[in-house]
Structure 1
Amino acid sequence: MEKASGAKDDRVQLQQAIDALRPGDDFIVYKLDRLARSTIKLISTLDEIKKRGSEFVSLNDSIDTSTAAGKAFFGMLAVFAEFERNVIVERTNAGLAASRARGRNGGRPKTDRRKVEKALKLYDSRTHSVAEITEATSVTKATLYRAIKDRETSPFQRINDDNGS
């Protein structure tokens, strides 16, 4: 069972499942777009399954490549899966462009720098636990640890450390 998107090419569990195939096995997926979203990726995955002497079955799409109709249907659905993915990407990009045109950049808002600095001072004092710091400052653990790491790798911080500041 893989939780990664069908749009990703590097999927460890998918490759492990294909590697485990033996001649005569059926490679079964719930839905075609869970396997791959581009025609090229679908066809190459199907070829790899075929090379191992196995068949492909999609339960939700009623595809069974051991039949001529299943092979034809697989090819048609592969084209539609790629089309659907491209439409989603186009709509997403258009939405992002429209947002940028209105002056919005998206993403999460940055944590108030003063809160992060306060959290760092509390952390440096070594008198409070991380849980206490996050509760007192509303700075998440991830943000606090990222700030600590950034501070340690910052060239400015190294200069200040060298000067005794």
Structure 2
Amino acid sequence: MPVGYARVSTRDQDLDLQVEASTQAGCERLFKDKVSGSHAERPGLAKALEMLREGDTLVIGKLDRLGRSVRNLVDLVGSLHKQSIQFKSLGDGIDTGTPSGRHFFDVIASLAEMEHDLTMERTRAGLEVARQLARKGGRKRQMTDSKIDSAKKLLATGMPPRDVAKKLGVSASTRYRWLSASTRT
């Protein structure tokens, strides 16, 4: 049984074209989301995936309606394949129920894996260069040496620790991390 899924990114966008295409493709059940693809939680997609059974086909209008990234899309279609569920993208002409559709997805999966490997390689190379230049990663310190000196002076005058943090433009927990409340000199 073909099960349709349609998604638009914003509330003011219209689902009509996707709904019509899915209906023409024979989808009796159609699940919809009006949420950005970058959101992990898409209730319509979750319901569609929950409903799918062995031998069914998930039907979408275009690839970009389903995956947040190529890797995400490949993983989702791979998961469907393991459950003997087919995948069809109407606008892209992809149907994993056909040999050419399965081959196309194998190629996409290989490209996604290569992209991931290249990203990891570039990250490792960048970290190595940073290490050689004696750079450290992470956020910059919020409490600079001058802020620590100022905090000590303000605490010595009797200013409450919370007010000291506010005056220095840092959170109370940041100030406590660098300088305990009992520090007055």
**TM-score past 0.5 threshold:** yes
**1:36, CA displacement in angstroms?**
2.4
User: Equivalent pairs: percent with the same residue?
Assistant: 22
Give the AA of the match of 1:147: T
Change (3 A) 1:123 1:29: farther
Pick the aligned partner of 1:67 from 81, 98, 101: 98
Query: What is the TM-score with the length of structure 1 in the denominator?
Result: 0.56
- Structure 1 match to 2:11: none
* Counterpart residue identity of residue 99, structure 1: A
Match of 2:111 in 1: 80
Deviation readout 1:73-109 (Å, 9 max, x if unpaired): 0011101111111101111111111110111113332
Which protein has the bigger strand share? 2
- Please state if 1:29 is matched with 2:63: yes
Work out whether residues 2 and 13 of structure 1, in 8 Å CA contact, stay in contact via their aligned partners in 2.
no
Quote the offset at 1:63 in angstroms: 3.2
Tell me the distance in 2 between the aligned counterparts of 1:106 and 1:64.
Answer: 44
User: Deviation of residue 37 (structure 1)?
Assistant: 5.8
Selected match of 1:98 from 115, 129, 136: 129
SS at match of 1:55: strand
Q: How many pairs does the alignment contain?
A: 136
Q: What's the TM-score once normalised by structure 2's chain length?
A: 0.51
- Larger Cα Rg: Structure 1 or Structure 2? 2
Q: Deviation per CA, 1:47-73: give whole Å up to 9, x if none.
A: 26x54x4524386x6533233211110
Richer in helix (by share): 1
Instruction: Give the AA of the match of 2:81.
Output: D
**Structure 1 stretches of 5 or more lacking a match?**
5-11, 161-165
Provide the alpha-carbon RMSD of the alignment: 4.3
